[in-house]
Structure 1
């Protein structure tokens, strides 16, 4: 059984992590794939929308299928938004590229789809592992802190610790002084007295 925590702060934390993972990966992938630069307002709006999606789903732990679908939806939505909200090119449009996109779109679109599926798989796995780690950490802390608090409260209620008594002094090379006479070095071992008769 996997640990589950449904606190509102944890829900918001899940949503924020979901938005940052999906937003960072999408924005980085868009820029690395040679897409036009994205306006900051568009990037912030995309991450905020993804955060709202994460908040809607973050009430409890989700399975890998739900996480994969949410990650893919976020990836695809941000891809469309980044393409539509791209900043205009810095220089003039290169010659010969006015109508040539129609013939090359199918392979590029297929590659883009496969990349988004792969990134969604990795993001979903990463988020699921992170959520498991967070839940385990919080449950471990929740289980270990109350006994620690009780122990500290008992120590504080007991007052200051009693002063330590010095340890008994040992004679040079001899046994520790305990206040009792030392046992005789002669031992009278043998059968019990009844057995001798």
Structure 2
């Protein structure tokens, strides 16, 4: 299970660092070489690995995203190539700094949203996979083994039904207000 979590964290780190660098350069920062880019992914991978132990809420992911973007901004600025010429529209000043802040904040917001929705989607996908595997396994059992005597007073819901009920998301108006 740790290998899957490490793989997910590494993929996220590469995507996060690449998007952060692209937005950093778009906001007027100097490009950096691979010698700066590769070491930036290591702490992001470690942080994502630690956060991926269990599902986190959007607020926690957003806070981690802001801290990560701030660290990546400092890392990219320290390892940047020579500053742009003075004729560059984003060469300096308050507007360039504010634009850089907004770009990194937007990247943190999108990363947190992507992580939160990705976690929910992955959890739903895994539940559906387990439910379908159990359904196929139960369907393949002989008919005599499937019919077990359950006492009438004990209303037990089968495991597959509970798993499917947990994964079904209902959309639309509440039942009392439904026309159908």
Q: Does TM, normalized by the shorter one, top 0.5? A: yes
Deviations 1:128-156 (A, max 9, x none): 1111001100111011112313444659x
C-alpha distance 84-63 of structure 1, shift in aligned 2 (>3 A): same
Distance 1:38 1:143, change over 3 A: same
Indicate if the aligned counterparts of 2:23 and 2:104 stay in contact, CA closer than 8 A: no
Indicate the larger mover: 64-73 or 146-155: 146-155
Q: Which residue of 1 aligns with 2:164?
A: none
- Where does residue 29 of structure 2 map in the other structure? 35
**Alpha-carbon shift at residue 57 of structure 1 (Å):** 1.1
Shift of 1:11: 2.4
5+ long unaligned stretches in structure 2? 144-180
> Within 5 A, what are the aligned runs for 1:76-87?
76-87=70-81
Greater alpha carbon shift after TM alignment, 104-113 vs 26-35: 104-113
Aligned pair 1:132/2:126, yes or no? no
* Post-superposition offset of 1:9: 3.9
| 1:41-52 mapped onto 2 (5 Å cutoff) | 41-52=35-46
In structure 2, relative to structure 1, the CA distance for the partners of 1:12 and 1:153 (3 Å cut) is farther
1:15 to 9, 29, 32: 9
> Among residues 78, 99, 106, which one is paired with 1:118 in the alignment?
106
Higher helix share: 2
Structure 1 distance, partners of 2:5, 2:119, is: 11
Aligned residues: 141
Which structure is larger by alpha-carbon Rg, 1 or 2?
1
Mapped contact 1:75–1:116 kept (Cα < 8 A) = yes
